[in-house]
Amino acid sequence: MRSILASFLVLAPFAGACAQEPAGRPRDDAPFEPSDFVRFVTEGDGGHLDTAITTYRKGDVELRLFGAVHIADQTCYDTLNDRFTTCDALLYELVGPENYRPTKDRDQNGLNPIAMLQNGLKNALELQFQLDGIDYSPANFVHADMTPQEFAASMAERGESLLTIMLNMMASGMQMQRDRAESGEPAAAAPDLVTAFRNGEGRHLLRMSFAAQMEQIEVMAVGGKDGSTLLEGRNEKCLQVLQRELAAGKKRIGIYYGAAHLPHMERRLVQDLGFEKTGQEWLVAWDCTKRPDKKYDRELYAQRRRCKQELGELAAAAKALRAAAPTVPTVQELAAAEVGGARVYQGPVQDPWGHDYVIRARPSGVRWEVLSLGEDGLADTDDDLVAQEPRRR
């Protein structure tokens, strides 16, 4: 199941197969060394998911394939935004109206299932969505994908649907598992996510688990013998736009498409259009360095729980002292005070982060309150903890 979900991270962003015949399938008789366009690198108990920037030349034309992963760290998108400025034309994928340029304030109320899935995974993995991270406004950006009408027509012609595509991916994933089992390769153990989220490692393990699956998506995304609308059909539309930009005299061209599209696109560029691969570099898309999830920091949770208990005891002591005290005491004065020959408070005078507890009058009324400055040591910030002197019963 993770393999199927991972495949949709490198397929299509949708905003809302072209009607012409495709430019042709790649020739099978020409020698060809296919490139990798996504990889996962393990480093210790972490690692990183990388996407490729691959360069090709034909005469005085330089073309770069930028492999897209549709959710990634914002730093990845920042780097791509800079690199795109070096292109005379940047051809981008997006199933949407002709020349559509998404903005961060776009209407996101549609019910497209792939977009909904990608957004859900973005939130779960704490990553950025491509349509929010990439700036589509520059003049060199060129829409090079199907419109929704072209996409629907192509799928109808091929007898496809999003359901059949997902079922094909599921079948491919199951076949890969069977092939691994037959080869004796041990199956990867599923992470215990319940335990992981309890100890603050949940999102790290989710990133690692999905990232490790991403290298397999090129196999899973392949359609039938005639390809699929989702990949090959949209690739042919992109290559038509490429021919148009070449005819217009553009010399430095980039194509920004999902990594799953690029094996077929590279084959078409090299075997049929006469480009030669000249270089490749890797860009970190997901930093999978192991780090605790602050939302599930068990040590912090325990500290705040202890702090609340101590604040309650201090507030009760403040109530016992207030009738006899002419002014609001410091916490040290409260700890030294006696009422009826007995100390009113014998607990800690500092919170779990080493800051003195603060006793102060409330803005209204006569009761006091006790304050912890929290982790940051600053008053009146979001991490403060406060307990009010209890009311009389």
**Residue 11: both structure tokens together:** 């397929």
Fold classification of 298-388 (topology level)? Glycoprotein, Type 4 Pilin (3.30.700)
* Structural contact between residues 347 and 310, judged by C-beta atoms closer than 8 angstroms: yes
pLDDT at 95 over 70: yes
Mean pLDDT, residues 23-37? 65
The pLDDT tens digits of the residues spanning 189-199 come to 555 544 544 55
* Most confident listed range (21-35, 147-161, 247-261): 247-261
Mean pLDDT, residues 7-11? 47
Which of 47-51, 190-194, 202-206, 243-247 shows the lowest per-residue confidence on average (mean pLDDT)? Answer: 190-194
Mean pLDDT, residues 85-89? 97
**pLDDT in the model for residue 363:** 79
Mean pLDDT, residues 31-47? 87
Residue 214: name the closest of 133, 267, 286 by CA. Answer: 286
Separation between Cα atoms, residue 130 and residue 76, nearest integer Å: 10
**pLDDT in the model for residue 227:** 63
pLDDT at 30 over 60: no
Residue 224 confidence class, pLDDT cut points 50, 70, 90: very low
Mean pLDDT, residues 146-165? 81
Percent of the chain scoring above 70 in pLDDT? 70
Mean pLDDT, residues 220-237? 70
pLDDT at 168 over 70: no
Mean pLDDT, residues 1-10? 46
The pLDDT tens digits of the residues spanning 297-354 come to 677 878 989 999 999 999 999 988 887 877 899 999 999 998 888 899 999 999 999 9
Residues of the chain with CATH 3.30.700.10: 298-388
Percent of the chain scoring above 90 in pLDDT? 41
Q: What is the mean pLDDT of the chain?
A: 80
**pLDDT in the model for residue 302:** 86
State how far the alpha carbon of 254 is from the alpha carbons of 114, 143, 360, in Å. Answer: 25, 12, 63
CB-side neighbour CA atoms (13 Å) of 226: 10
Separation between Cα atoms, residue 172 and residue 187, nearest integer Å: 16
**pLDDT in the model for residue 230:** 77
Residue 210 confidence class, pLDDT cut points 50, 70, 90: confident
* Structural contact between residues 269 and 53, judged by C-beta atoms closer than 8 angstroms: no
**pLDDT in the model for residue 90:** 98
Nearest-10 crossing angle of helices 113-125, 202-213 = 130
**pLDDT in the model for residue 144:** 96
The pLDDT tens digits of the residues spanning 263-288 come to 999 999 999 999 999 999 999 999 88
The pLDDT tens digits of the residues spanning 111-151 come to 455 566 666 677 767 788 898 899 999 999 999 999 999 98
Separation between Cα atoms, residue 134 and residue 231, nearest integer Å: 21
Residue listed under structure tokens 């153990």? 189
Mean pLDDT, residues 74-93? 95
